[in-house]
Amino acid sequence: MIRFPLWLGMFSLFAVCGSGCERKPASPPAQPPTEISVPIPASNSSSKEADMNKTAAVTREKLNAEVDGKSLEQFVLTNKNGLRAVVLNWGGTLASVETPDRTGKLDNIVCGFSPDNAKFLTNPPYFGVTCGRYGNRIAKGKFTLDGTEYTLATNNGANHLHGGKKAFDKYIWDAEPVQGEGWAGVKLTLVSPDGDEGFPGTLTSVVTYKLTDKNELRIEYSATTDKATPLNLTNHGYWNLKGARPENGTVLDHVMHLNCDSYIAVDDESIPTGKLTAVKDDSPMDFMKAKPIGQDFGKLTNDPQGYDHCWVINGGGDSTKAPVLAAEVREPSTGRVMRVLTTEPGVQFYTGNYLPGTPDVNGFAKHGGFCLETQKFPDSPNQPSFPSCILKPGETYRQVTVHEFAVE
């Protein structure tokens, strides 16, 4: 049961504006920078010594709403440079990230909902949520594991998407603030019972967001299970480096580089064919050389036009090693730069093709944000040639994704 005694006034620090896979309508189916400097916003204090003593911090706030008798809470993370992120216990959601432009002006760059919009709890595009158990699609909502066929909830036509009808984005996670030298964060834990949305095994997932004094947002994932189960956790943040407000328009002029020389071919329902396809020079799928996101839309044949594919990260897929570069994005008018590094093998690059500009998505229109969802490959349980996504008892799933923020 969801109760909202009062929406106005809640989220006093929640500066949200406003894919891989949002819910699609039934028809149709679903070079590193040379040098980057980071301006530090001017302090309100006249004391330089006070500025030097600033440290990363986290504050916890109970919101004026509850779900199933549990309070909604937000955790506000700040670093010594003035960067700020807001994380919610609802859905493990990254609600906002405020970074400076080249003049030092802070703005939120994560799309989402305003605090008086009750669609925040339904969130059709999955703005900023933690997707699980399985981010992206599983064909026909079925897979076979150890000789047993499992049937999952189907919520994307005939296919399973982002964990099902009541997935990880529709629960309040247990949450606690955490802090270490040079960073502040929040640790979120969710226990998914055996049979949840059709998946086997009781799964315990932990997601920790950390904002560091190096202007990084680290997302660290771990999980354990008592039965073998597919697992593919990811964050579904939509980014607009101009500032995440509908009036700022599309992200098509953002300049994108993907450290990926192949991508996963899909059918007309966005289900992998099993084939990894090499990008070709100057093809629409080639982002090895940075280019504006919308530059090659005229060469795409899908409808609506835009990207919604999983690229294969060069050197990715080893959780025992340091994260490798997946993507780098520049926004020319503000100078903002975001680099995404990960231990995962793939990144789903999605350009908000199905955002309708309506109130249920807080006014965000087609191509109003882009997603870079680091993850296992789509439909891996049914694709024996793909890296395994199966977590077994006695093992620990681990994943790290890092967003680095800067300006130039």
For residues 212-221, give the mean pLDDT. Answer: 98
For residues 12-18, give the mean pLDDT. Answer: 36
pLDDT range class, residue 15, cuts 50, 70, 90: very low
pLDDT of 100 reads 97
pLDDT of 116 reads 56
pLDDT of 48 reads 39
For residues 360-370, give the mean pLDDT. Answer: 95
CB 100 within 8 Å of CB 106: yes
Quick count: other Cβ atoms within 10 Å of Cβ 154? 17
The CATH number covering residue 196 comes to: 2.70.98.10
Q: Is 153 a residue whose pLDDT tops 90?
A: yes
pLDDT range class, residue 61, cuts 50, 70, 90: very high
CB 317 within 8 Å of CB 343: yes
pLDDT range class, residue 115, cuts 50, 70, 90: low
pLDDT range class, residue 25, cuts 50, 70, 90: very low
Task: State the number of CA atoms in the 13 A half-sphere of 371 facing the CB.
Answer: 38
Closest alpha carbon to 79 in 178, 216, 240, 219? 216
Query: Which whole-number Å values give the CA distances from 45 to 41, 42, 52, 101, 105, in the listed order?
Result: 12, 9, 11, 21, 17
The DSSP element (H or E) to which 49 belongs, if any, is helix 48-52
3-state SS record for 298-360? HHCCCCCCCCEEEEECCCCCCCCCCCEEEEEEECCCCCEEEEEEECCCEEEEECCCCCECCHH
pLDDT range class, residue 121, cuts 50, 70, 90: confident
Q: Which range has the worst mean pLDDT, 60-74, 110-124, 184-198, 199-213?
A: 110-124
**What range defines the domain where residue 378 resides?**
2-407
pLDDT range class, residue 64, cuts 50, 70, 90: confident
Number of domains present in the structure of the chain: 1
Residue 73 in 3-state DSSP?
strand
pLDDT of 285 reads 96
pLDDT of 124 reads 92
Contacts of 54 (CB under 8 A, 6+ apart): 43, 80
d(Cα 377, Cα 396) in Å, to the nearest integer?
A: 19
Q: Is 11 a residue whose pLDDT tops 80?
A: no
pLDDT digits (tens, 9 = 90+) for 319-358: 999 999 999 999 999 999 999 999 999 999 999 999 999 9
Handedness of CA 358, 363, 367, 371 (dihedral sign): negative
The better pLDDT of the pair 113, 23 is held by: 113
Tokens of residue 178, six digits:
């955490």
For residues 221-243, give the mean pLDDT. Answer: 98
pLDDT of 205 reads 98
d(Cα 259, Cα 290) in Å, to the nearest integer?
A: 10
Catalogue the active-site residues: 236, 373
